[in-house]
């Protein structure tokens, strides 16, 4: 029971983080007209603010793929 609750909470957390990132990238595509997959401590796609507690782990993963 406790393990199931923990898996659900972690799953929702990861889903929320990825959803915010994908939504922000899509908004950046609509505004800029090109794909901008960058994520920094301040913003996604160079202009969209996000809650740092939600995506601190994704910033590290994206920087590995982008070789920054």
Q: For CA atoms 59, 60, 63, 64, give the dihedral sign.
A: negative
Q: What is the per-residue pLDDT for 40?
A: 85
User: What is the residue-level pLDDT of the chain in tens, covering all 68 positions?
Assistant: 999 999 999 999 999 999 999 999 999 999 989 998 888 888 888 888 988 888 888 888 887 887 75
Q: What is the per-residue pLDDT for 23?
A: 93
Asked if residue 50 lies in contact with residue 17, where contact means CB atoms within 8 angstroms, the answer is: no
Q: What is the per-residue pLDDT for 9?
A: 96
Q: What is the per-residue pLDDT for 68?
A: 53
Rounded Cα distance, 43 and 67, in Å: 18
């Amino acid at each position: 029971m406790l393990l199931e609750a923990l898996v659900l909470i972690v799953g929702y957390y990861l889903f929320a983080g990825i959803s915010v990132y994908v939504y922000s990238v899509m908004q950046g595509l609509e505004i800029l007209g090109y794909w901008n997959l960058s994520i920094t401590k301040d913003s996604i796609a160079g202009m969209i603010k996000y809650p740092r507690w939600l995506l601190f782990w994704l910033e590290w993963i994206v920087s590995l793929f982008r070789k920054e």
